Structure formats: C-alpha cells, structure tokens
Amino acid sequence: MKPLISLGITSGEPSGIGPEVSLQAASLVMTSLSTLDLPFRLALHIYGDEAVLAQAAKVVQLVPQFTHWLRASETPIKIVPIACQHVVQAGQLNVQNSAYVLRLLDEVLTLNLKKQLDGMVTAPIQKSVILEAGLGTINGVKFSGHTEYLAAHCNHSDVVMMLMGPTLLTQTEVSEWLKVALVTTHIPLHQVSSGLNQATIVNKIKLIHDDVKKWLGRPPHIAVCGLNPHAGENGHLGLEEKTIIEPAITQAVSEGFHVSGAYAADTLFIPRNLKGIDVVLAMYHDQGLAPLKLATQGNGVNISLGLPVTRTSPDHGTALGIAGKGLADPTRGVMRHQTSPKKPKRTLSGHAPNKQLGQNFLVDQSILHEIVACISPQPDDLMLEIGPGLGALTECLLPKLNHLWVVELDVGLAKRLERHENLTVFQGDILQFDFAKVLRQEQPEPLLRVVGNLPYQISSPLLFYLMNWADRIKDQHFLLQKEVVDR
C-alpha cells in the first residue's frame, strides 16, 4: 500500500476567507490528485469551528461534502472541530477570537511535532487583532506573523520566509518557478538596515541551500539583492552593500555555496536576468514580494524554511471585503507545493499540447476562477464541457455540480479524465457528437449549458453546429481566440 501523507489545515481568521478557501481548496486538491498516479495517498484534516465551517460550506455550495467530511469515519478529507467561543461575523473582526486563531496553530503544530501529521497548511490570519489582544508573544518574541510565531514555538531562531510560484514563462516546471526568500520579514522599513548583519545573511543562505537542494537535486544558485537603489552605486547611495551584504556573499561562496550579488533589485527581476537563478534573496518584505506577486498573479505559495515541520500557506490575506460572499479564489497555490511529486523536474501535466488537434491548455488559476464565476454553475445544471484537455476547468466545475458531461477528442486525455467521480466522458469529435446522448439521460429534460476552451480550427464550425440544438441549449460560455471573436 502507498504511504499516507496527512496534512493539517488551519482555517485561519474566522471572519475572513480562510474557512471558505480551506474547504474549497481541499476539495479541489483531492479532485485534481484523483487523476494522477502519485506515489502516496493523501489525507487532509481541516481544523476550525464547526458552525463557522458549516456556514462557509453553505456559502461555497459544499454542504453535502462538508456533512460527509464531518461525520464519516473513513474519508480523505476530515473536519476536526475546535470551538470558537465568541461571535463570528464575516468581514467583521472580533479581537476576542484571537485566542481561537492561535489555538488552531498550536494544535496543528503540536501534532506535526509529534509526527501525527506530516505538514501544515495555514489559511490567512489578521495580525492586527492578535496584537491588539496582546497575544502571541513567545520567549519574548512579539507576534508578527505565522513564520515568526511558529519559529518561536519550535525554539528555532533561524528560519526563512520564502514564496514561490509559476509565472507566465514558467507555468509547469516546479523547479523553474520564481522563488523569493527574505532576510527580514514583518518589520517597519526604517528598521531594515539595523536588522541586517553578515551572520544573518549567511545563515539564510545556508537554510535556503539545504531545503531547495532537496527539491532540485542539485545545489541552488542564490542571487542576493542589495538594499539600496542600484545596489548602493559603489557606496555612493548607501554602505550596507559594502559593509554587510557583499562580505556575507564572499563568506558564503568561500564555504561552497553557489551565491552571487549584490544585485540591484529593480533590474534583477527582469525575466532574462533571472535565467540560471534558482532563488532570489531579498533584504526586506516588499523588495522581494511585490515583484513575485506581480509575476505570479497571486498564485504564490508561502513556505517556511528551517522549521522542524513542513508549513505552507497562500500568498494572500484575510480579504475581509469579500468574506462570506463566495467570491474567494480557492485555486491559489495553497497545497500545491506540499502535494507535488518528489521529482519536480517532471511537468505537472505530463502531457504536451498536440498542435495538430489545436490543443491549448488553461493554466492560469486566476483566469479559471473568473471563468467559473461567469458561468456560475449550480448543482442541478445539465452541463457539457467541450475539449476539457487536462481538466483544469473541469476540476473547478465538478465541486459545484452534481454531474458533468465532457467531450474530448484526445484518446489519452479522455482516459485520464475517466478517473473523476460524477463525470461522464465521451471520447470523440464534438462536430459529430449527438447531443441527445446527454439530453436523453435527464428526465424531465432541462436545457443544456455548454462550456469549453475551443481549438482555433473548429471554433466557427462548432458555433454553427450548435445552432442545430438552439432550442435545447440554455447558454454557452466559450474561450475563443481574439481573431475568431473579431471575425
């Protein structure tokens, strides 16, 4: 039997989007992994208040699944109730709930340290209310975020906050994702310079090297940013490069690490300048994370290096403005890193687009989320997807539907899709497909909803073909090349 990996998910600030995205992301991850032959089995344990999670399940239309996860003894997703004693209202912070938020972290961390869990995924928390409550200080270390809190709990002074994610140029190869680590984290900007010293930078380099080497199978090339504009302009715009950063780089190189710099941060993040670089080490929070979040379009994963446990989180906050409205994006990279195969050099899909079939695969999770929002699928919809390909849109639709029908021309891709539950796969040419196959299975017969990412060469013929079924079709949502739309 394949080994079991169990991850604990803390649902985060109860008035934010954490409860919603925890449930949705868990559902999407399990659906996605069901199509892959991975060397392990996965179990997800979601920790949070039962009533809060139940309300979140209602908002994101996962009530049947939530009830099963809560009550069933054997299920890959399990709800672990931890009571929140005070009032929770979506979008409205309550300082009294700060102790509950920290209790979620403490519980899951303790289980990881006891080896009863194999990793932890943390939904967003609101730092301000924890500080207002006067909580989170451990061993004299004031609370400033997940990374620092967990490090203090584990009595690890040296940890690294690193974010990574796919960019438009590196959508599939995990090894090529943009990775940005930080020397300083959640401190005011005017304290950054005094927070830098040679020993700290060298220690960060060592921690990055040790962890990232495990994923790449080779020593990583770490590019170090300067602190000042133009990396100090040879001392004319600041001395930290000459007195702290460059000596740290020299020491790290002498100790055998593949390190270069100090680089001007305003030009280092240009894609051509990142070639051959595995990790960028930035001096402070916004220097590194602003370009990363722009490049990854919100699909980044926050990873804590140097801890005795594996911890990841999404790169977004509590999003109080959309909490409780079902607008949160569950497709961000929450568990992508922890559930990726051991050999990241392999593409996540394992399938290259077939140009003869006009294949083009959706990979941008934020665009997928917008598409699903436009479609607004309802559980009882009779929906047919044309050309699902790798199943990116399929996996976003399935949790919201009781059943989905798809038509896929590629024999290999159709076979992969058959692993999904609540999915009927028709392998063949959509231009020869008899829509009555779907319509006859529904009594009484509702109107059909049709969606798809259409290959260029069949877009026009298909639109005309669908006119034959116009009286039986409720609506259609397609991704089309701009040239087709203009024509």
Residue 120 bridge partners (DSSP): 8, 311
387 marked as part of a ligand binding site: yes
Apex 245 CA angle, 240 and 249, nearest 5: 160
Pairs from 199-203 (Cβ < 8 Å, separation ≥ 24): 199/248, 201/244, 201/245, 201/248, 201/249, 201/252, 201/281, 202/248, 202/251, 202/252, 202/255, 203/158
6/9 Cα distance (integer angstroms): 10
Q: Is 448 annotated as a binding residue?
A: no
Q: Give the three-class secondary structure for 46.
A: strand
Tokens of 469: 């079924």
With b for 16 or more beta-carbon neighbours within 10 A and e for fewer, the 390-404 pattern comes to: bbbbbbbbbbbbebb
Please, is 467 exposed, middle or buried when counting C-beta atoms within 10 Å of its C-beta (0-12, 13-18, 19+)?
exposed
- Phi, psi angles (nearest 5°) of residue 149: -65, -45
**DSSP at 142:** P
Strand pairing partners for 307?
none
246 is an annotated ligand-binding site residue? no
* Tally of CB atoms within 10 A around 18: 32
Please check whether residue 465 is in contact with residue 475, taking contact to mean a CB–CB distance below 8 angstroms.
Answer: no
At residue 126, what is the residue type?
Q
* b/e burial code for range 233-260 (CB count within 10 A of at least 16 → b): eeeeebebbeebbbebbebbeeeebbbe
Going by the annotation, the residues of the binding site are 360, 362, 387, 408, 429, 453
Going by the annotation, the residues of the binding site for S-adenosyl-L-methionine are 360, 362, 387, 408, 429, 453
